[in-house]
Structure 1
């Protein structure tokens, strides 16, 4: 395993932030070309990612709620200008909540070998198993697509 980092900066290569139950690190950050281990939780990294892009998580969430009516498991545009959009896999207070980055998702398919388990397949061929139903993840993907469309219209205004 590579070294454990105290912080992680979300970037265009970030594919997923997954929670870890390891005592030494809280998050597994999957990038297109590497996997990193981070001391902070996925939610802490998401919040910091928003701040790094001149907004607060709360402000982004409130704006999305206002524009779409979504109130639970709200996808977040981390950076509209850099085209970085992420969606939570579970409720934010659930320690198993991970974040998937929309632009890297190739497909979401049901894992027929396990009930309520889904495979997220990324464009680079990597995949992860999630203990979330396929319907929940497809809904999150669809919601994020809507938010991305709304935000690209806002950029043209």
Structure 2
């Protein structure tokens, strides 16, 4: 069975070995998986009740863009993943937005510090990563507005 992204999942990176294709960083664990990061993202979307293509199309519409789209795994659980590069790039790493504590440029690599103080080094500039953070926050804001609107309607109906 393919790994399912959950609230403890902090990051997903690709590796090339004879067997494993992905490293998954959880709050208190590191897991090696035979599925690719994209297979894990797609399977996780289905697990939480949405199709991968539907989630991709939603991000595309919100951001009016086709590249480096953040992924909404489950908005109710606050699971939003952002890629560092195009998902077609083997060096693409995926980070859970709410697990990112800090990031800083170190010469040719970016150090991404997670909430558990673990550091993952990626091949992307600080500006590019910051841009991805902002794009992901736009997607999160879209869901937050939906949530607020729905709750106002519930309050209005129940009065």
Work out which of the two has the higher radius of gyration on C-alpha atoms and give 1 or 2.
2
SS state of the match for residue 90, structure 2?
coil
Deviations 1:24-83 (CA, angstroms, capped at 9, x unpaired): 100000000000000000111011111111111111111121122122100011001111
Q: Does 1:94 align with 2:86?
A: no
Q: What aligned pairs does 1:111-130 form with structure 2 within 5 A after superposition?
A: 111=106, 114-115=107-108, 117-130=109-122
Q: Comparing both structures, which one devotes a greater share of its residues to helix?
A: 2
Match of 2:65 in 1: 70
Q: How many residues align?
A: 149
Match of 1:47 in 2: 42
Q: What aligned pairs does 1:1-80 form with structure 2 within 5 A after superposition?
A: 7-80=2-75
SS state of the match for residue 124, structure 2?
coil
CA–CA separation in structure 2 for the residues paired with 1:141 and 1:29: 20
Normalised by the size of structure 1, how large is the TM-score? 0.91
SS state of the match for residue 10, structure 1?
coil
CA contact (8 A) 2:93 2:122 kept: no
CA–CA separation in structure 1 for the residues paired with 2:19 and 2:42: 21
For structure 2, the residue ranges without an aligned partner over 5 or more in a row are: 151-159
Match of 2:157 in 1: none
Out of 135, 148, 152, the residue aligned to residue 140 of structure 2 is 148
CA–CA separation in structure 1 for the residues paired with 2:61 and 2:120: 32
For structure 1, the residue ranges without an aligned partner over 5 or more in a row are: 1-5
Deviation at residue 97 of structure 1 after TM alignment: 1.6
Q: What aligned pairs does 1:132-143 form with structure 2 within 5 A after superposition?
A: 132-143=124-135
